[in-house]
Chains A and B, each alone.
Chain A
Amino acid sequence: NAGVTQTPKFQVLKTGQSMTLQCAQDMNHNSMYWYRQDPGMGLRLIYYSASEGTTDKGEVPNGYNVSRLNKREFSLRLESAAPSQTSVYFCASSEWSGPTNEKLFFGSGTQLSVL
């Protein structure tokens, strides 16, 4: 049982490049989330998906897009990376619908650097 798997673990981009972070969970959870964590700040929600087929903006959605491909997979895309998007990104899932469910299961994170 792998839980939440996200790839890649590390990525370096040049300003303006695009990339997609992949996330998959095998716990049959309805809800999935993308967070970013910056030094000296708490985790901030980028986007979430309460169920397959739905996505909603979180606290810091600008510069990102998401796709809930199916119940298992939730991807995060940076269309034109900017240095301000240098961060650690975490995917998470939970059993219930909506971002108020607090029992989150996190992936191991992606360290992204934008030069």
Chain B
Amino acid sequence: RKEVEQDPGPFNVPEGATVAFNCTYSNSASQSFFWYRQDCRKEPKLLMSVYSSGNEDGRFTAQLNRASQYISLLIRDSKLSDSATYLCVVNNGNNRLAFGKGNQVVVIP
């Protein structure tokens, strides 16, 4: 089983709609979790951390489910500018970060 798994998509979502996707991780000892955003041919940038209690940043909500070993990202009221690939990043407990392949989101006008 891969350390971090994401469905690459693409996730086609109409402008103004809500889109959500998950990331599963294999190491139950993983300590911390993050979402990074990567635009086409650009570098990844930190979007938000994922806390145990869940957290929200504007239209973005991240949640962690330790029992089932997944994290999720929900985007409400999608904007065209939200089109990007969202990378799941997990501290896997072996002193190393693990990156998922990313969920590609395409917001359609």
Taking Cβ atoms with an 8 Å cutoff, the residues of A that contact B are 40-45, 58-59, 90, 98-100, 102-104, 106-109
Contacts and interface: CB of A to CB of B under 8 A. Distances in A.
B96 A102 contact: no
Contacts of A45: 96-97
Of the four ranges (under 10, 10 to 19, 20 to 34, 35 or more), the interface on chain B belongs to 20 to 34
B55 to A, nearest CB: 14
Given A42-B87, A100-B91, A109 B43 contact: yes
Nearest to A41: B101
A42 B100 contact: yes
Contacts of A90: 43-44
Contacts of A98: 95
Contact of A100 (B36, B44, B97, B100): B97
24 contacts: A40-B101, A42-B4, A42-B87, A42-B99, A42-B102, A43-B87, A44-B99, A45-B96, A45-B97, A59-B96, A90-B44, A98-B95, A100-B32, A100-B91, A100-B95, A100-B96, A100-B97, A102-B91, A102-B97, A103-B34, A104-B36, A106-B43, A106-B44, A109-B42
Interface of B: 4, 8, 31-32, 34, 36, 41-46, 49, 87, 89, 91, 95-102
Contacts of B42: 108-109
B44 to A, nearest CB: 5
